[in-house]
């Protein structure tokens, strides 16, 4: 028995050493990756974002706001931190990490919609894998993202369990965080889906208020923008009055302008969408141009100001 246990132990020790080496190698490799979900995270962690304007939100931020267009009209440097499949609780953790490694922005465009104040976790967890050694990731993200004990403690386990091949599937190219979608409308009937009910999560509400208060204290201008979604979907959405009341109250409290594009003609033209809630590249470019012009018209962006970078 002693011989068996000793040999098994020796085998486990060797396997552990190999797994630690693989973990370090793969994490390092992914921290250099500039496609898919890793591109934005790597820009954040390497402190490569030196933006006047940052755009925050879910997939609607990610695929709707083209920083290049904003920059060309507003003469600023902007970056899209939009995070696919995420309510504000996740967007906020990304923002906090952004602030840790990058200069303070002057303006934050916060995309708002029916899902913003919900609570999401556990979606596309693989995007966090390479950053497990970061203390902030360990404290702000890992506890909320449904990682198992084995994911958190065993070297390489999270990668093996997810499938290494799958880590490299997402090869979408983002430019300054924006990921334009070259797709055309693929949804015929507007049916009741899961994107219909407004519900604010109390934890997310606390984070949202904390975020707004912090931005106000730091003299960062927050702008709420409701980006276009396909107009027919509105008929199926519940709790819109409550949603707008919440956003308006917060806007009044923190002196935040609201730009609502839900009644824009773009919303009723399927040529600009690839599904009910997302604009395609054509739509995103049109919307980004319109937004930039509106920001300029309403003088919400001081284009003459220099970047005041502070950590």
Question: Is residue 293 part of the contact set for other proteins (CB under 8 A)?
Answer: no
DSSP 261-300: -TTSGGGG-GGGEEETTEE-HHHHHHHHHHHHHHHHHTT-
Q: Which stretch binds other proteins (CB under 8 A): 1-9, 32-40, 257-265, 291-299?
A: 1-9
Question: Is residue 123 part of the contact set for other proteins (CB under 8 A)?
Answer: no
Cβ nearer to other proteins, comparing 169 with 175: 169
Question: Is residue 148 part of the contact set for other proteins (CB under 8 A)?
Answer: yes
Cβ nearer to other proteins, comparing 1 with 135: 1
Strands (DSSP E) along 104-253, which ranges?
107-111, 221-226
Cβ 266 to other proteins shortest distance, Å: 35
CB 177 within 8 A of CB 67: yes
Task: Supply the DSSP symbol for 142.
Answer: G
Cβ nearer to other proteins, comparing 7 with 192: 7
Question: Is residue 171 part of the contact set for other proteins (CB under 8 A)?
Answer: no
Options 161, 238, 245, 293; binder of other proteins; rule CB under 8 A: 161
- Rounded distance, CA 260 to CA 244, Å? 10
Options 70, 71, 78, 150; binder of other proteins; rule CB under 8 A: 150
Cβ nearer to other proteins, comparing 19 with 68: 19
Question: Is residue 25 part of the contact set for other proteins (CB under 8 A)?
Answer: no
CB 67 within 8 A of CB 175: yes
Cβ nearer to other proteins, comparing 168 with 236: 168
Options 6, 13, 16, 18; binder of other proteins; rule CB under 8 A: 18
Alpha-carbon distances of 87 from 31, 73, 121, 169, 211, rounded to whole Å: 24, 29, 9, 24, 14
Q: Tokens for 179, please give them.
A: 């990921």
- Rounded distance, CA 106 to CA 306, Å? 9
Cβ nearer to other proteins, comparing 4 with 235: 4
Cβ nearer to other proteins, comparing 3 with 235: 3
Cβ 129 to other proteins shortest distance, Å: 12
Sign of CA dihedral 289, 293, 299, 302: positive
The interface with other proteins within residues 83-112 (CB under 8 A) comprises none
Quick one: residue 175, left, alpha or beta (phi over 0 = left, psi -120 to 50 = alpha)?
beta
Options 11, 122, 265, 309; binder of other proteins; rule CB under 8 A: 11
Question: Is residue 166 part of the contact set for other proteins (CB under 8 A)?
Answer: yes
- Rounded distance, CA 61 to CA 174, Å? 12
Q: Which residues bind other proteins (CB under 8 A)?
A: 1, 3-4, 7-8, 11, 14-15, 18-19, 22, 148, 150, 154, 156-157, 160-166
């Amino acid at each position: 028995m002693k011989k068996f246990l000793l040999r098994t132990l020796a085998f486990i020790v060797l396997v552990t050493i190999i797994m630690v080496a693989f973990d370090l190698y793969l994490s390092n490799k992914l921290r250099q990756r500039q496609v898919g979900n890793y591109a934005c995270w790597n820009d954040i962690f390497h402190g490569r974002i030196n933006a006047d304007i940052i755009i925050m939100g879910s997939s609607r931020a990610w695929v709707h706001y083209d920083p290049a267009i904003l920059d060309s009209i507003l003469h600023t440097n902007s970056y899209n931190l939009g995070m696919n499949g995420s309510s504000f609780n996740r967007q906020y953790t990304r923002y906090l990490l952004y602030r840790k490694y990058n200069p303070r922005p002057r303006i934050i465009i916060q995309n708002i919609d029916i899902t913003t104040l919900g609570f999401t976790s556990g979606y596309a967890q693989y995007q966090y894998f390479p950053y497990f050694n970061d203390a902030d990731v360990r404290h702000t993200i890992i506890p909320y993202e449904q990682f198992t004990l084995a994911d958190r403690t065993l070297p390489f386990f999270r990668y093996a369990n997810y499938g290494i091949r799958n880590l490299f599937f997402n090869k979408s190219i983002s430019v300054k965080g924006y990921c334009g979608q070259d797709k055309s409308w693929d949804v015929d009937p507007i049916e009741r889906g899961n994107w219909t009910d407004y519900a604010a999560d109390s934890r997310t509400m606390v984070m949202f208020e904390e975020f707004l208060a912090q931005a106000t204290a730091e003299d960062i201008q927050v702008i709420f923008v409701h980006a276009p979604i396909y107009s027919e979907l509105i008929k199926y959405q519940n709790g819109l009055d409550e949603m707008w009341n919440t956003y308006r109250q917060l806007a009044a409290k923190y002196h935040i302008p609201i730009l609502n594009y839900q009644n824009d003609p773009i919303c009723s033209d399927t040529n600009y969408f690839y599904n009910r809630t997302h604009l395609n590249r054509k739509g995103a470019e049109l919307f980004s141009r319109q937004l930039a012009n509106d920001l300029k018209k309403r003088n919400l962006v001081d284009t003459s100001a220099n970047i005041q970078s502070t950590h």
